[in-house]
Amino acid sequence: MDKFLINGPCKIKGKVLISGSKNASLPILAATLLFDKPVIINNLPRVRDINTMLNLLKSLGSKIILSKDKKTAKIINKRNMKTYASYSLVKTMRGSILVLGPLVAKYYKSKTSLPGGCLIGARPVNFHLTALKKLGMRYKIKDGYILAKSNGKLKGSTIKFPKISVGATENSIIASCLAKGKTILKNCAIEPEIKDLTNFLNSAGAKIKWSGRTCKIIGVNSLNQTEYSIMADRIEAGTFCVAATLARGNLQINNLNPKIIRTELNLLKKIGAKIKIDTDKILIKGPDKIKSINNIKTKEFPGIPTDLQAQLMVLMCRADGKSSITERIFENRFMHVAELQRLGAKINIKNNKAYIDGNTKFIGAELMSSDLRASVALVLAAIVADGKSSINRIYHLDRGYEKIEEKLKKIGVKIKRVK
Ligand code: EPZ
C-alpha cells in the first residue's frame, strides 16, 4: 500500500489548478443511465471513485470511451442494459447507490447492493428508498440487496425529505426526470454539485426548476444527446485555501467560481487570511497569526461543509487560543483526532463537539489515514510539522484528490509517494 513521506515544515507558494468535482461527477455519471443517446462528460477528476463508477456503468452494459487524459468520457448505453449493481463494486464506493433511481426509472427494475456503512457513520439510505417508493418503486431487501421494480413508468409525486440529504435528493431528481407527470421535492439539499447535476440534465432536455429547497421536475419521455463539463471541486479548493492559511502560504487557486466557497472564505478571513477574488480565481495569503474561532459548526450548504471539518481542525490546532468544532452531519467524523493527537494536538471530544487547545507545535510522526477527508487533514498537519511524517493507506486520498502529491510539490511541499 502506498504511503506519503513529508518533510516539514514547508513554505507554500504558487498556483493550484482545481480538478473536476468528484461529488458532482458521481451523480452525473449515474444519471447517464437514463440516456438512449451518447453523452459526453468533460473535466472528470482522475480519482478512484470515478473509475469505480465507470466500471459500475460498464458492468451494467454502458460502452465508455475515455479520452487520452481520462478527463472526458463518451458514454453509449445499449438498448437493454443490465440492472444488477454488485456488492463487490458498491462496497468500494457508496455513491453507487445513485444508480438505483435511474435504473428503476428507465428499466423498471434493479438489483442494487445496499452500500453499507463506512468509517464516518452508518450512512443509511432510508430517505432514498422512501422517496423512490413515493414515485412508484416497489422493493424488498434480501441478502444485502435492494430488489426493486416498478409497474411501468414511475409516477410524479410530492415528496418532503424528513432531513436534508445530498444523495437522496440526487437519486430522486434523477428518477423523476423520466417519471410520468410532475414531481415536487421539498426540503432538498442544495449543494452546488446538485445544481451541476440539474444543469446537466436540463442540458439534455429535462425539465427541472428550483426555488429555494424545493425542486420541481416535469417528466419527459427521453433525454437528448448532450455534452457537459463538470464543475470544479469546491472541497479540493477549500482544502488548498486552508493549507495556505495554515502554512503562511501565498496561493493562487484557479478555475473555480469563488462564490461556491463564499462561506469558507469568510471564515478563513475571520481567521486572518488575506483573500482577493476574481471571477474564476482566488488569491489567498496566510497570516502570521492564526486567530482561534469558537463554535465552528458544520452544516448543509450554504453552511461550512462537513467535508472540510477535519482540515479546519488542523488549522484550529495552530490557532492562538482555544476553539471548538461541532460536527452536525455525521455521527462519527472525528477519526482524524486520534492521529492529530499523535502529532501533538491537544483536542477533547464530547459527543459531536471537539474542543481544541491552540498553539500546537506539530512534531512529525507515523500516521494512518482513515477516511478521505481525514487523510488530507493529516497531510496538512504534516506540511507544518517539524520533521518527517509518513502517512499510510493513502488509497483513501486517491479516492477523491487527483494527483495531490504533484499539486503539493508544485507549491513547495517536500512530499514523496512511496510504494
Ligand atoms: C454526500 O454524501 C457526499 N458524498 C459526502 O462526501 C458529504 O460529506 C455528504 O453528502 C454531506 O455533504 C457524495 O456526494 C458522493 P447525505 P451523502 O445523504 O449523500 C443521513 C466525501 O468525502 N442520511 O447528505 O451520503 C446520513 O447518514 C463524502 O466526498 C440518512 O439518515 O450524505 C448523514 O448523517 C463523504 N438516511 C446525513 O443524513 C439517508 O437515506 C447527511 O447525509 C441518507 C442520509
Name the β-bridge partners of 274: 285
Q: Who lines ligand 1 at CB under 6 A?
A: 23, 26, 95, 121, 123-128, 163, 165-168, 189, 306-307, 329-330, 372-373, 400
Q: Are 191 and 301 in contact (CB under 8 A)?
A: yes
Task: Output the CA 92–ligand 1 centroid distance in Å.
Answer: 16
What sign has the CA pseudo-torsion 26, 30, 31, 37?
positive
* Separation of alpha carbons 41 and 417, rounded Å: 30
pLDDT for the residue numbered 123 = 80
Greatest Cα-to-Cα distance within the chain, rounded to the nearest angstrom:
64
**Residue with grid cell 467560481, as numbered in its chain:** 257
Give the span between the Cα atoms of 156 and 253, in whole angstroms.
42
Give me the residues paired with residue 182 across strands: 218
Given a cut of 90, whether residue 121 has pLDDT beyond it is no
Q: Find where cell 488569491 sits.
A: 283
Grid coordinates given for 198: 440539474
Mean pLDDT of 273-285: 96
In ligand 1, the atom with minimum distance to the C-alpha of 120 is: 35
Contact of 102 with 31, CB cutoff 8 Å: yes
> In ligand 1, which atom is closest to the CA atom of 331?
34
Compute the residue count for the chain: 419
Is-contact 196 230, C-beta < 8 A? Answer: yes
Please tell me the residue having the least CA distance from ligand 1 atom 29.
23
Q: Is residue 371 scored above 90 in pLDDT?
A: no
| Domain 22-229 -> CATH class | alpha beta
Residues linked to residue 147 through DSSP beta bridges, in sequence order: 111, 140
Distance CA 65, CA 42 (A): 12
Least confident of 100-109, 145-154, 309-318, 362-371: 362-371
Task: Map residue 33 onto helix, strand or coil.
Answer: helix
Q: How many CB atoms lie within 10 A of CB 243?
A: 27
Q: Tell me the mean pLDDT in the region 118-136.
A: 90
Which residue has the least CA distance to atom 34 on ligand 1?
A: 330
Q: C-alpha 260: how far from its chain's center?
A: 14
CATH code linked to domain 3-19+232-418:
3.65.10.10
pLDDT in tens, 226-245: 999 999 999 999 999 999 99
CATH 3.65.10.10 domain position(s) in the chain: 3-19+232-418, 22-229
Residue 94 confidence (pLDDT): 86
Which three cell numbers, joined as nine digits, stand for 39? 453523452
- Model confidence at 118: pLDDT above 90: no
Alpha helices in 64-212 (DSSP H): 87-90, 100-107, 126-134, 166-176, 192-203
Atom number in ligand 1 closest to CA 128: 40
Query: Which residue's CA is the nearest one to ligand 1's atom 10?
Result: 166
The mean pLDDT of 330-337, rounded to a whole number, is 91
CA distance 19 to 16: 9
For residue 161, the model assigns a pLDDT of: 98
118 catalytic residue (yes or no)? yes
* Marked catalytic residue, from 118, 188, 215, 317: 118
Quick check: 120 pLDDT over 90?
no
Give distance in angstroms: CA of 167 to centre of ligand 1.
Answer: 6
- pLDDT one-digit tens code per residue, 101-117: 999 999 999 999 998 76
CA–CA separation, 382 vs 247, rounded Å? 11
Closest CA to ligand 1's atom 38 = 165
Q: Considering only CA atoms, which residue is closest to atom 43 of ligand 1?
A: 125
178-189 pLDDT, tens digit per residue, is: 999 999 999 999
Are 384 and 318 in contact by the 8 Å Cβ rule? The answer is yes
Q: Give dist(CA 42, CA 112) in Å, integer.
A: 27
The pLDDT-based confidence of 1 (bands split at 50, 70, 90) is confident
pTM: predicted TM-score of the whole model, two decimal places: 0.97
Q: Could you tell me what percent of the chain has a pLDDT over 70?
A: 100
177 and 105 in contact (C-beta within 8 Å)?
yes
- Across all residues in the chain, what is the average pLDDT? 95
Give the sign of the dihedral formed by CA 131, CA 183, CA 155, CA 218.
negative
Whole-number pLDDT of residue 115: 86
Ligand 1: which atom is nearest the Cα of residue 191? 12
Look up residue 303 and give its three cell numbers. 453552511
Distance 123 CA to ligand 1 centre (A): 7
For residue 189, the model assigns a pLDDT of: 98
Burial of 54 (0-12, 13-18, 19+ CB in 10 A): buried
Q: Report the Cα–Cα distance between both ends of the chain, in Å, rounded.
A: 6
Give tens-digit pLDDT for 36-93.
Answer: 999 999 999 999 999 999 999 999 999 999 999 999 999 999 998 999 998 888 888 8
pLDDT surpassing 80 at residue 355:
yes
Is the pLDDT assigned to residue 289 strictly greater than 80? yes
At residue 218, the pLDDT reads 98
pLDDT digits 0-9 by tens, 207-222: 999 999 999 999 999 9
